[in-house]
Structure 1
């Protein structure tokens, strides 16, 4: 609800070229309202009117925004259809109803066409651990380790060393 009210205020700003007059009633924003009564943030909204020119401009802006949104959606749908067609062409055995589907949660995806063999005694959902040789740690270059014969820190090093 907040973002819709914010959008409405922005539409009023775009329609008039000036910041809208903002009032609050029934815990919602009211823009460019003309009334003799006072607005209460938690109270009921008094009867009010928005000037006709502003109403018309805001309505025209909404129509234009909706049209632009529909154009953007149509463009995305066309791109998606083109992408799916390209994927279908790349898979010669696929039929249109066999378009690639997203993986379900928990599925294991493996690259390549090689069949995967289950270890003996394993069943679906079994997790096996690797028991092969350990991977050696990465080699550390000799200059990365400070030597015992390192130089004494300079004045700045001693000053900054106090804060460590």
Structure 2
């Protein structure tokens, strides 16, 4: 049966989350941005499933497939212990973001204190390091929309 629901619950107190190029980004309520290996998290939460179901759901969770054919709804829980196990990095942002966006290996943050960005760098399919956080503008911003050639639209 096509279209059965897959639910992924991430336990903890978080403002937002993103999956980008096999990496899970989570912003917590202390304004820390943490980065995790999404591939390894998926492997662990799917470990009790049959190999066929693991491959099918993992392809879907990694964005390699647009749908998944399972016979019943599935609920997967990502406990904080799993997150700690696969954490790659944490960055303190120290402010409440009004918008967050990721484009072309650059992480953008808009807030009441301005618009910021930092780049991230890859080694062996994992984020290895981050650049320093750079400020783009010093005005309160509410929405950002990055585009090609490092173009950026900012609503201030």
**Which structure has the greater CA radius of gyration?**
1
**TM-score w.r.t. length of structure 2:** 0.20
The answer to which structure, 1 or 2, has the higher relative contact order (CA under 8 A, 6+ apart) is 2
**TM-score w.r.t. length of structure 1:** 0.19
Higher strand proportion (structure 1 or 2):
2
Higher helix proportion (structure 1 or 2):
1
